[in-house]
């Protein structure tokens, strides 16, 4: 193990590629997570009820987000490998299916959030004040769901083709707009009305809408690989649809099943009390911030490994995977230690009761303990198994263990036995340990690599020339005959 860690830290070629690809992705996730953190801190000045209302209102968006991430990730399993052989037509055919699936889901979520918000939020809590505030928030942010769908799918495909900077720059614009509007509309600065939770919803909806306008404008101006015509997105060979769904459907089911499981966690915590769900929401915001660098390296690993497999370099893909598995737990332990050190001071950022602060502190300590396992699971599922096309096994590992171990533990511990929330959180984290054990065994077996670019793919067609930019070098892949 020590030799494996040493090899990972001294493999300059691996580290150089990983850092170049991952840093912009990590920076974008830092921007998005920072935006959520700012929202949480600002809403946290209003009280526990407001925090709980926004947290539960965002659960609907969370479900949509995970569905879209499943659709987008299923697509990038193909687009990363297609980019390895510079098959632009294959990329756009994959995107066409993703856009149809994503927009259909966004419309359904928008209708549910705008027409039945009380029913939706009533699943999580019986607190009438929380449901009333959350319903107003939900109706407003739901108008941005379609815009968010376009942003996520285009951003994920841009990343898989090596352009990791444009999504970052667009997210910076969104962060600036959202933060400014939050200050103006939540607290009523400079003569604006103080709208509280409704102000936060308006700020979010405006920022997300502007984000997709800027992203698509630059993607099409620069003639990026995903920037196709509508006719290209619809030109999908029937044989390719079946192959796409066989590989991508497990990813979509994975994210839907995982998000529903996390929703069950939130429902359990909400029924343990409004103060509990407020503390848990804050701790999860800190968790996302702590995992920012890992979101970058997981997605960076997926791009590098997917490109390598698509180019026929499976040996390189296996070497990169082993480097990731040795590197991530070590960094996870270090960041977990930082969370533990900061746990007494983080609760002081929020205007909440002493009980909520104490609950939050205990949750942060548990987070510090399980962070390395969460980071490793993230890389196994997103960075390795999916990029290798092993989507069915990742579905089994991620979802079956969640529903067979994590969810029952949360329900029994939190609602039947009535354990403290920190202990419930710790017990549910046992699912992460099981996922790591099974996932590592699968990767080391070598059975996770499946090449997707050599069978029944859409006919290759040269795409528009790509403008020069400063992204990671794109070495021409080995010449391959296309069917």
Per-residue b or e along 310-334, where b marks 16 or more CB atoms closer than 10 Å to that residue's CB: bbbbbebbbbbbbbbbbbbbeebee
By mean pLDDT, which of 31-40, 382-391, 415-424 is the weakest? 31-40
Tokens of 217: 């404008």
Specify the pLDDT at position 74.
78
Tokens of 354: 């002493």
- In a domain, residue 66? The reply is yes
238 vs 158, more confident? 158
* Tens-place pLDDT, residues 84-139: 778 888 888 888 999 999 999 999 999 999 999 888 888 777 788 888 888 989 99
Tokens of 145: 């769901």
Distance CA 105, CA 152 (A): 13
- In a domain, residue 476? The reply is no
- In a domain, residue 265? The reply is yes
Number of domains forming the structure of the chain: 1
pLDDT > 90 fraction of the chain, expressed in percent and rounded: 28
Q: How confident is the model at residue 4 (pLDDT cuts 50, 70, 90)?
A: low
Q: What does DSSP assign to residue 162?
A: T
- In a domain, residue 384? The reply is yes
What integer is the mean pLDDT of 461-476? 39
Q: Name the nearest CA neighbour of 85 among 454, 382, 450.
A: 454
Q: How confident is the model at residue 452 (pLDDT cuts 50, 70, 90)?
A: low
Residue 253 pLDDT greater than 80, yes or no: yes
* Tens-place pLDDT, residues 324-334: 999 999 999 99
- In a domain, residue 468? The reply is no
* Tens-place pLDDT, residues 168-180: 888 888 888 988 9
* Tens-place pLDDT, residues 297-309: 998 888 888 888 8
Distance CA 425, CA 404 (A): 16
Identify whether the C-beta of residue 420 lies closer than 8 Å to the C-beta of residue 269: no
Specify the pLDDT at position 1.
55
Q: Given the structure tokens 């920072």, which residue do they identify? A: 34
Q: Name the nearest CA neighbour of 75 among 92, 87, 89.
A: 92
- Rounded to 5°, the CA angle 245-92-259 comes to 45
Identify whether the C-beta of residue 292 lies closer than 8 Å to the C-beta of residue 331: no
* Residue range(s) defining the domain that contains residue 335: 2-445
Phi, psi angles (nearest 5°) of residue 87: -95, 90
- In a domain, residue 471? The reply is no
Residue 482 pLDDT greater than 60, yes or no: no
155 vs 26, more confident? 155
**What is the pLDDT of the chain when averaged over all its residues?**
83
- In a domain, residue 467? The reply is no
By mean pLDDT, which of 245-254, 353-362, 417-426 is the weakest? 245-254
Q: How confident is the model at residue 5 (pLDDT cuts 50, 70, 90)?
A: low
Distance CA 442, CA 298 (A): 17
Identify whether the C-beta of residue 421 lies closer than 8 Å to the C-beta of residue 276: yes
Specify the pLDDT at position 162.
79
Q: Is 471 exposed, middle or buried (0-12, 13-18, 19+ CB in 10 A)?
A: middle
310 vs 93, more confident? 93
pLDDT > 70 fraction of the chain, expressed in percent and rounded: 89
Tokens of 242: 């079946």
339 vs 476, more confident? 339
- In a domain, residue 395? The reply is yes
Distance CA 163, CA 449 (A): 24
Residue 469 pLDDT greater than 70, yes or no: no
């Amino acid at each position: 193990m020590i030799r494996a860690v040493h090899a990972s830290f001294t493999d300059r070629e691996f580290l150089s590629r990983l850092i170049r690809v991952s840093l912009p992705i990590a920076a974008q996730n830092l921007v998005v997570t920072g935006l959520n953190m700012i929202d949480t801190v600002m809403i946290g000045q209003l009280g526990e009820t407001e925090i709980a209302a926004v947290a539960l209102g965002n659960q609907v968006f969370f479900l949509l987000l995970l569905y879209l991430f499943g659709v987008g990730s299923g697509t990038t399993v193909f687009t990363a490998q297609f980019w390895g052989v510079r098959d632009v037509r294959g990329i756009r055919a994959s995107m066409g299916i993703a856009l149809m699936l994503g927009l259909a889901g966004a419309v359904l979520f928008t209708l549910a959030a705008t027409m039945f918000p009380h029913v939706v939020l009533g699943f999580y809590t019986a607190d009438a004040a929380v449901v009333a505030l959350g319903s107003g928030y939900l109706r407003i942010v739901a108008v941005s769901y379609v815009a968010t769908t376009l942003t996520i799918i285009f951003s994920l495909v841009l990343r898989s083709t090596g352009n990791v900077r444009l999504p970052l720059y667009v997210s910076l614009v969104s962060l600036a707009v959202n933060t400014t509007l939050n200050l103006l509309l939540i607290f009523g600065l400079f003569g604006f009305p103080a709208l509280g939770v409704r102000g936060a919803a308006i700020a979010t909806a405006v920022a997300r809408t502007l984000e997709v306008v800027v992203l698509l404008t630059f993607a099409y101006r620069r003639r990026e690989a995903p920037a196709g015509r509508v006719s290209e997105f619809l030109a999908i060979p029937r044989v390719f649809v079946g192959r796409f769904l066989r590989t991508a459907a497990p990813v979509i089911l994975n994210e839907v099943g995982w998000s529903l499981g996390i929703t069950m966690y939130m429902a359990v915590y909400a029924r343990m009390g409004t103060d509990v769900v407020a503390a848990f929401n804050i701790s999860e915001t800190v968790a996302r911030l702590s995992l920012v660098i890992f979101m970058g390296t997981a997605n960076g690993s997926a791009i590098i490994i997917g490109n390598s497999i698509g180019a026929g370099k499976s040996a390189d893909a296996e070497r990169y995977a082993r480097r990731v598995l040795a590197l991530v737990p070590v960094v996870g332990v270090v960041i977990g230690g930082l969370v533990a050190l900061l746990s007494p001071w983080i609760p002081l950022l929020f205007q909440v009761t002493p009980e909520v602060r104490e609950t939050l502190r205990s949750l942060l300590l548990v987070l510090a303990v399980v962070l390395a396992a969460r980071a490793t699971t993230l890389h196994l599922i997103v960075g390795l198994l999916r990029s290798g096309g092993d989507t069915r096994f990742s579905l089994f590992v991620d979802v079956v263990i969640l529903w067979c171990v994590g969810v029952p533990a949360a329900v029994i511990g939190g609602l039947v036995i009535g354990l403290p929330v920190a202990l419930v959180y710790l017990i549910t984290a046992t699912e992460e340990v099981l996922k790591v054990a099974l996932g590592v065994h699968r990767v080391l077996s070598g059975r996770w690599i499946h090449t997707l670019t050599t069978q029944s793919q859409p006919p290759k067609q040269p795409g528009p020339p790509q403008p020069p930019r400063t992204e990671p070098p794109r070495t021409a892949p080995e010449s391959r005959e296309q069917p």
